[in-house]
């Protein structure tokens, strides 16, 4: 993607639905915090480390929580790599049928992980992973 399109360049991916549109995003969502590279790197690193810690210490054991955590960690790492290496994040997916900011695969992982994480927390955390809960010993096989 980076080598095939110049900044601002685009090519149809699914005509009428989504195109590849190269944008250099120096900020976070909707280009907020533009120019605050080191702050964004620090905050993203802190979030990735916190989620990783929760997984390693087995605060999150339910499969849905683990999938959500993995998506957040991988999306965060993708953005960290771009921002540290390039000074910006390369966004590339542009919906053509609605007005929506251009985004990348890491953004999809983070948003999907956050949504799944909210579902996990609202419906599964109390039953499977809350400390002191009689059922708080779920593992990857789903056994309690």
DSSP string, 24-89: EE-SSGGGTTTT-HHHHHHHHHHHHHHHHHHHHTTS--SHHHHHHHHHHHHHHHHHHHHHHHHSSE
Question: What tens-digit pLDDT sequence spans the chain (144 residues)?
Answer: 566 788 888 889 999 999 999 999 998 877 777 888 899 999 999 999 999 999 999 999 999 999 999 999 999 999 999 999 999 999 999 999 999 999 999 999 999 999 999 999 999 888 877 776 555 555 545 554
Per the listing, tokens 């095939």 go with 4
How many domains would you assign to the chain?
A: 1
Position 141 scores a pLDDT of 52
Determine, yes or no, domain membership for 93: yes
E strand or H helix that includes residue 12: strand 10-14
Long-range contacts of 57-61 (CB under 8 A, 24+ apart): 59/129, 59/131, 60/120, 60/129, 61/128, 61/129, 61/137, 61/138, 61/139, 61/140
Report the candidate in 74, 136, 62, 58 with the shortest Cα–Cα distance to residue 110: 74
Position 144 scores a pLDDT of 45
The maximal CA–CA distance of the chain, rounded, in angstroms, is 57
Determine, yes or no, domain membership for 69: yes
Determine, yes or no, domain membership for 15: yes
Position 2 scores a pLDDT of 60
Determine, yes or no, domain membership for 144: no
Determine, yes or no, domain membership for 61: yes
d(CA 102, CA 90): 9
Determine, yes or no, domain membership for 60: yes
Q: Which two tokens stand for residue 59?
A: 């605060």
Kindly report the backbone phi and psi dihedral angles of residue 44, in degrees, each rounded to the nearest multiple of 5, phi listed first: -65, -45
User: Does 107 participate in catalysis according to the annotation?
Assistant: yes
Domain with 24, as residue range(s), is: 10-129
User: Does 129 participate in catalysis according to the annotation?
Assistant: no
d(CA 56, CA 26): 31
Position 9 scores a pLDDT of 86
The catalytic residue among 82, 91, 129, 139 is: 91
Position 130 scores a pLDDT of 77
């Amino acid at each position: 993607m980076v080598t095939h399109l110049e900044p601002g360049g685009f090519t149809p991916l699914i005509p009428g639905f989504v195109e590849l549109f190269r944008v250099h995003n120096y900020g976070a969502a909707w280009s907020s915090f533009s120019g605050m590279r080191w702050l964004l790197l620090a905050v993203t690193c802190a979030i990735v480390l916190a989620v990783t810690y929760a997984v390693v210490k087995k605060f999150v054991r339910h499969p849905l929580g683990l999938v959500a955590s993995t998506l957040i960690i991988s999306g965060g790492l993708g953005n960290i790599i771009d921002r540290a290496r390039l000074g910006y994040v390369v966004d590339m997916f542009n919906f053509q049928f609605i007005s929506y900011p251009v985004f990348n695969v890491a953004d999809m992982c983070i948003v999907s992980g956050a949504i799944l994480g909210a579902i996990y927390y609202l419906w599964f955390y109390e039953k499977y992973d809350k400390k002191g809960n009689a059922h708080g010993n779920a593992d990857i096989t789903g056994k309690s």
